[in-house]
Amino acid sequence: MICAFIANAASFVLPISNPANLVVFAGGDMPSLYRWMAIFSLPSLVAIIATFFTLYWTQRTTLLLDLVASHVERPVLSLPAKFAGVGLAVTATMLVAMSALHRDLGLPTFVAGILTSAFVLLASRQSPVPIIRGVTWSVLPLVGGLFVIVEAINHTGLTAVLSSKLSVLSAHSESSAVWLSGISVAIISNIINNLPAGLFAGSTIATAHVSDRIAGAVLIGVDLGPNLSVTGSLATILWLAALRREGIDVSAFAFLKLGALVMLPALLLALATLCYF
């Protein structure tokens, strides 16, 4: 649960922390790395802390009963594992640098992944077939289909209508626009997944030409909202698929019960921090 919730709660620390961040600003002006940090550093810190304490409070009984192993044998990293670790570190450094330089991230990420995999496979003298089979291919048509739906909605003129209403609301009260945008997008992200929701919301704010705070509220809603349901974000869907491969079953209802407790405080506190600080 910690892996799933923190993956979303910490996903607006940097522009590269979540693909949804790139999608939200695909139709507008992606903030520079310095401007991004100025906008999101404090709200992201608040979101992470709120998520941690809520998770700790909800899991305190399990922790007190010593149901979690406290002494686990520490494995020795093999050479392929070291290559994988170095590859991840190099990739992360490269992505931050590309983000700071305002460069596209898709191709560098793809190349880094291919090179890291190649080094790991050569070091372990293994076939690439297990890696290819390990990819959750079923997610690709799911996400692709959701993006098709969003594009169809854009052609109905709904984006223009929402942009106009958002412009009027932001001119009347920026704080109201922050709260309404953040909460609405958080809910929508659980209905249609946060990637297409981010694309739709990004098109809306780009057309409306709103302030950084309102755009930030939309991003926070896109990133934190999915902590409510297992279908809310790509990260959670992949997390669920990885668990099922290991024979661990987490039902949608079990996740929803905990997600309702974890998501709401983090979302409201992050939006309040963005709006008033």
Q: Which domain holds residue 214?
A: 2-67+136-276
Handedness of CA 6, 111, 150, 145 (dihedral sign): negative
pLDDT at 27 over 80: no
**CB under 8 A, 24+ apart: contacts of 51-59:** 51/5, 51/6, 51/9, 51/227, 51/262, 51/266, 52/6, 54/261, 54/262, 54/265, 54/266, 55/1, 55/2, 55/5, 55/262, 58/258, 58/261, 58/262, 59/1
- How many domains does the chain fold into? 1
- Is 94 domain-assigned? no
Q: What is the pLDDT of residue 152?
A: 81
- Is 244 domain-assigned? yes
Q: What is the pLDDT of residue 134?
A: 77
Q: Residue 77: what are its φ and ψ, rounded to 5°?
A: -70, 130
Identity at 161, one-letter amino acid code: V
Q: What is the pLDDT of residue 32?
A: 84
pLDDT in tens, 117-163: 998 889 888 888 888 887 878 778 877 887 787 778 778 888 889 99
- Is 48 domain-assigned? yes
What span, in angstroms and rounded, lies between the C-alpha atoms of 274 and 195? 22
Token pair in block for residue 86 = 């170095």
Average pLDDT over every residue of 162-168: 92
- Is 188 domain-assigned? yes
What span, in angstroms and rounded, lies between the C-alpha atoms of 214 and 201? 11
pLDDT in tens, 40-83: 999 999 999 999 999 999 988 877 876 777 788 888 888 889 98
- Is 92 domain-assigned? no
Query: pLDDT averaged over the chain?
Result: 89
Q: Which of 260, 250, 249, 182 is nearest to 227 (CA)?
A: 260
3-state secondary structure of 100: helix
Q: What is the pLDDT of residue 28?
A: 60
End-to-end CA distance of the chain: 30
Q: Which residue is associated with the tokens 């990885």?
A: 242
- Is 259 domain-assigned? yes
Q: What is the pLDDT of residue 25?
A: 84
Please check whether residue 229 is in contact with residue 257, taking contact to mean a CB–CB distance below 8 angstroms: no
What are the CA-CA distances from residue 255 to residues 10, 78, 251 (Å)? Answer: 18, 35, 6
Q: 133 or 3, which is more confident?
A: 3
- Is 81 domain-assigned? no
- Is 124 domain-assigned? no
pLDDT in tens, 246-258: 899 999 999 999 9
Sequence-ordered list of residues with C-beta below 8 angstroms from that of 165, at least 6 positions apart, any chain: none
